[in-house]
Chain A
């Protein structure tokens, strides 16, 4: 009797019936959006910071989404996600050195990233996957160091410049200069995220991947190839990472073997903020962190560039203390 009742409640929760916590989250987000809108209307500098923050935030968001994809499928964090993105960006650089145009190199890089992600999952992650979370984490940490070494070996540690087609010009909207670059970055990230979402939502492969992530055993019983689905998941994560890497490059103005490391840190924060399980949460988390940090660096000199990382984590810690599963995470009910 009691179990039937509790499963009914769980069913309601799953269908997204609003509980108090979720409502508060939406209210806070709405409040933040209104605050940003008013700020942008009143001050051009504020608007400039906000747009730059949104562009940076979408980069953090797409890498965070890559982390979330891997986490949903295998319940581990891929520490090498940022380095993988860095490696694929170097591959794009190399392709352009060989004379390909930016967008051709872009497409080719995404294909290579997919193959690379799938290959890594099959060769390195699958053997340790069923062992323990920490074993997988250690393997990804090893991969982090290995990729760093390989990139340094092939391309060297000096800065490289990727000729991005975005230019340095900017639109003028009511006195606010909006760089073309920012618009392109937001657009590209948005399109790739929508494509990935569409893949998950509307295709049979996507359905299989969702099933494999949620109930691996049951999915296998109805004929889903769970192992292949997990490998494809890693491939897609690598593609999103490659997008993040290529879009992050214009903000750093150059390519170096360490250029994704700070971005990975913010992507972690974004993913956790969004609840780790939630793709939408990862994007919202990324945007929130991007905008907040840009505004903080712009307006609060006491915190400034030096303390922005500790500050971001202090905020993250506070959010987690209030809501331990992040903004959009669901509380897990565990049987003992």
Chain B
């Protein structure tokens, strides 16, 4: 318990800062901070799957798409309360995640990466084919628009709840089973971990997080869901976020989410290189640089600093 005091203190500080931020920031910056919150939820979910259970996924943008479209369609067709649509997104993505987890029982490593990548590539084509229900190229617009402050509060409430939930889940029996699977599947089975149950469960939980994030993501873009915003790039961004946060640790997620949430926006107007290109050049170079300098992401950096402080 003693060792957890600094961790708890830093959590309280972060929470306090997040509570104060909306009173200080301008409307646009609140929007950016809300984006970070959205990515926080998604990266947290991906970390449960990739970091703790060792199942790599390059398809989490697909779950975000499902969550986002759930919110947009329910709001458009039934004027459902937005919080209810988020819960729906959570439930639907949990189930879809369980289903996607089934083939994962047979694949591992690179094959799983490619299967999930296939999912990420395929999903944006679905709305194009079923355009009467899912809006086609034009997308779906929800019936309600919410303010940036609303998104901010929603995103960070979800982040806080998700973080506490993840912490509670991962410190107990479930987390031990997940880590056992990550370290060695065969050894895990030999110690009585039911591989099918826990692997699909990891996919389900992780997808549920991504679903909520997707729903928030759509609300943050004026309640507008279209295929372009859920392309492969989004899935790659999530993976980058998780790697920069540090896989298998909850302490770097804020940094990972801030990296993918803020850097593309902030670096939008780089001198010399220009508008969009500047974003890609800076983002790509930063990703490579961080991976070269910080092998275990920010969580690894925190652990190293803590060791230094103790010594």
Q: Are the CB atoms of A142 and B291 closer together than 8 Å?
A: yes
Q: How far is the CA of A172 from the CA of B106 in the complex (A)?
A: 48
Report A268 CB to chain B, min CB distance, Å.
Answer: 6
- Say whether chain A's binding surface is mostly helix, strand, loop, or mixed: helix
Tell me if A153 counts as interface (CB < 8 A to partner B): yes
Chain A hits for B254, CB < 8 A: none
Contact with A along B227-266 (1 / 0, CB 8 A): 0000010001001100100010000000000000000000
Judge if B273 is at the interface, Cβ distance under 8 Å. yes
Check: A108 CB closer than 8 A to any chain B CB: no
B292 touches A128 (CB 8 A): yes
Asked whether any CB of chain A lies closer than 8 Å to the CB of B164, the reply is no
Does B84 touch A at the CB level, under 8 Å?
A: no
B278 touches A149 (CB 8 A): yes
B184 proximity list for chain A (CB < 8 A)? 336
- CB distance A141 to B110 under 8 Å? no
Q: Is B111 an interface residue (CB 8 A)?
A: yes
Cβ contact of A134, chosen from B56, B278, B284, cutoff 8 A: B56
| Min CB–CB distance A333 → chain B (angstroms) | 12
Query: B292 near A127 (CB under 8 angstroms)?
Result: yes
Instruction: Write the A135-155 contact mask toward B (1 if CB under 8 angstroms, else 0).
Output: 101110111111111101100
Is B121 among interface residues, defined by CB-CB distance under 8 A? yes
**Cβ A77 vs Cβ B236 within 8 A:** no
Of B56, B109, B110, B284, most A-chain CB atoms within 10 Å = B284
Bound: A35/B311 CA distance, A: 72
B106-A321 in contact (CB<8A)? yes
Interface residue tally for chain A (C-beta within 8 Å): 46
Contact present for A149 and B279 (CB under 8 Å): yes
Question: What residues on A are CB-neighbors of B153 within 8 Å?
Answer: none
Q: Which residue of A lies closest to B113 (CB)?
A: A77
Contact of B110 with A134 in the complex, beta carbons under 8 Å: no
8 Å CB contact of A124 from B117, B129, B232, B292 = B292
Instruction: Please determine whether B281 and A146 come into contact, CB atoms closer than 8 angstroms.
Output: yes
B215 to chain A, nearest CB (A): 23
In the assembled complex, the CB of B5 is this many whole angstroms from the nearest CB of chain A, namely: 31
Q: Which chain B residues border A133 with CB–CB below 8 Å?
A: 56, 109-110
Contact between chains at A142 and B285 (CB < 8 Å): yes
Smallest Cβ distance from A47 to chain B, in angstroms? 29
Contacts of A265 in B (CB 8 A): 118, 121
Q: Which of chain A's residues have a CB closer than 8 A to the CB of B56? A: 133-134, 137
B237 to chain A, nearest CB (A): 9
Docked-complex contact A149 and B280, CB < 8 angstroms:
yes
Encode B128-159 as 1/0 by CB contact (under 8 A) with A: 11000000000000000000000000000000
A317 touches B239 (CB 8 A): no
Which residues does chain B contribute within 8 Å of A134, judged by CB atoms?
A: 50, 56, 243, 247
B81 at interface, CB cutoff 8 A: no
Closest residue on chain A to residue B109 by CB atoms: A133
A237 vs B247: C-alpha distance in the bound complex, in angstroms? 29
Q: Do B291 and A143 touch (CB < 8 A)?
A: no
Centre residue among A138, A268, A321 by max chain B CB count within 10 A:
A138
Contact call B114/A145, Cβ cutoff below 8 A: no
Interface string of A12-25 (1 = CB under 8 A from B): 00000000000000
B292 pairs with A309, CB closer than 8 A: no
Contact of A272 among B111, B243, B280, B282 (CB under 8 A): B111
**How many residue pairs at the A-B interface have CB separations less than 8 Å?**
131
A328 to chain B, nearest CB (A): 14
Cβ < 8 Å to B, chain A residues 45-84: 71, 75-77, 79
What chain B residues lie within 8 Å of A309 (beta carbons)?
A: 121-122, 125
Distance to closest chain B CB from A280 (angstroms): 19
Cβ of A5 under 8 Å from chain B? no
| Chain B, Cβ-Cβ closest to A310 | B122
Contact call B121/A320, Cβ cutoff below 8 A = no
Are A138 and B239 within 8 A (Cβ)? yes
Contacts of B279 in A (CB 8 A): 149
Which of chain A's residues 147-201 have a Cβ closer than 8 Å to chain B?
A: 147-150, 152-153, 157
A320 touches B117 (CB 8 A): no
Question: Does chain B have a CB within 8 A of A206?
Answer: no
Scoring A141, A143, A144, A313 by chain B CB atoms within 10 A of each residue's CB, the highest score goes to A141
Q: For A135, what are the chain B residues with a Cβ–Cβ distance below 8 Å?
A: 243, 291, 295
A306 engages B111 (CB within 8 Å): no
- Is the CB of A27 closer than 8 A to any CB of chain B? no
**Chain B hits for A272, CB < 8 A:** 111, 114
Tell me, yes or no, whether B103 is within 8 Å of chain A by CB.
yes
Q: Chain B nearest CB: distance from A142 CB in Å?
A: 3
Instruction: Give the residues in chain A near B186, CB-CB below 8 Å.
Output: 334, 336
Partner of B187, one of A147, A150, A321, A336: A336
For B110, the chain A residues whose CB sits under 8 A away are 71, 75-77, 133, 276
Interface 1/0 per residue, B147-177 and A, CB below 8 Å: 0000000000000000000000000000000
CB < 8 Å neighbour of A138 from B103, B115, B278, B291: B291
A329, closest chain B residue (CB): B111
Q: Knowing A144-B236, A147-B284, say if A324 contacts B118 (CB, 8 Å).
A: no
Q: Is B198 an interface residue (CB 8 A)?
A: no
Say yes or no: A152 contacts B288, CB within 8 Å.
no
Q: Is the CB of B295 within 8 A of A128?
A: yes
Tell me the complex Cα distance, A295–B82, Å: 44
Within 8 A of B (CB), among A109-147: 124, 127-128, 131, 133-135, 137-139, 141-147
Q: A297 at the A/B interface (Cβ < 8 Å)?
A: no
Pair B239/A313 contact, Cβ less than 8 Å: no
For A313, the closest partner residue in chain B by CB is B118
In angstroms, Cα B112 to Cα A268, docked, is 12
Q: A145-B287, A146-B283 are in contact. List 6 more A-B contacts (CB 8 A).
A: A71-B110, A134-B247, A139-B287, A142-B240, A145-B280, A313-B121
Q: Which 7 pairs of residues, A with B, have the shortest CB-CB distance? A: A149-B280, A146-B284, A142-B287, A145-B284, A149-B281, A310-B122, A313-B118
